[in-house]
Amino acid sequence: MTLPSRQALVPFVSVENMMRLVLHVGIEQMMVELTHAIEADFRRWPAFDKTPRVASHSDIGVIELMPTSDGQHYGFKYVNGHPGNMRQGLQTVTAFGVLADVATGYPLLLSEMTILTALRTAATSAMAAKWLAPRDARVMAMIGNGAQAEFQALAMKAVCGIEEVRLYDIDPAATRKCAANLAGRGLRVVSCDTAEQAVLGAQIITTCTADKQYATILTDNLVGGGVHINAVGGDCPGKTELHRDILLRAGIFVEYPPQTRIEGEIQALDPDHPVTELWQVIAGEAPGRTDAGQVTMFDSVGFAIEDFSALRHILKRLEGTEFFLELDMIADPDDPRDLFGMIIRSEGH
């Protein structure tokens, strides 16, 4: 059989190889590197094509495409969010992504992104907290202890210096799982019986739940002055976690307003309620936290530029390693006009 040419082969990072790569680099180190990569791309935000993700919503979940380009590379992610999957022993979120060369249109990388999305989401949270949380923040409350929780805690530790994480979930088994996974990783881990107990003494409060409904995970009386809220769970219309009164007294920071107003916590507010785009803070075009007593909130829904940054970083990290396979994905006939002939000539090989 004729072997495929070099032009036909595209690096593919499987789940197994993504895990190998992450362990090779180190989980916390990988999230530090992703934080830097995402921050660098946020600084050049105007260079990117931007659009709200293309979403197909149903009563039980959502399937989305998240595309962007900086004129040199094009990237997209396919991702779903199905909260009911867990009852079938399935992941709530799964994803894969592609990075391509704009000049030729050829793909440069195909990668799993279920694990990579967890890493980049946590890295983005830590990046936001670096710019918005109190400087001396050392205690974090983690409300919602599902698949994302450990990544969030370790990213905040590695990037922001968090020393204690206080865990709460309506399912005690999720808290036990999270506490066990974080044991021995340099954090004081406190398992809590209520949300009220979890936020006690916390300067950063992360909410990360998956129910597809309007919910009140955090009420106004639980949020004291000077706290930074990292609202990760909001990801589709009809799903929120925070009481509206919290939003009304917080400085709100978002990724891309046209998307966040559809999917984020701010869907509960008027369409013209003022928000600040996080990239503007990072680029020095807008203030972040303005005083020690201010409540800040990062209304995180995830945006395509973060996935683009993650894919580019992974492609760079693959150099000199064996943590990928080469897939025969691109037809490469001897004559670009003779695709039919390529098929015919393959007969008998």
- The residues carrying an active-site annotation are 235
SS3 at position 6? helix
CA distance 67 to 97: 10
Provide the residue type at 136 as one letter: D
> Which alpha helices (DSSP H) does the chain contain, by range?
15-25, 27-43, 114-132, 149-160, 172-182, 195-199, 244-249, 257-263, 278-282, 304-317, 339-345
Tokens encoding 263: 């999917």
Tokens encoding 238: 């009809």
Q: What share of the chain is helix, strand, coil (3-state, %, to 5)?
A: 40, 25, 40
Q: Give 56's DSSP letter.
A: E
Tokens encoding 311: 């894919």
Instruction: Check: CB of residue 329 under 8 Å from CB of residue 279.
Output: no
Q: Give 189's DSSP letter.
A: E
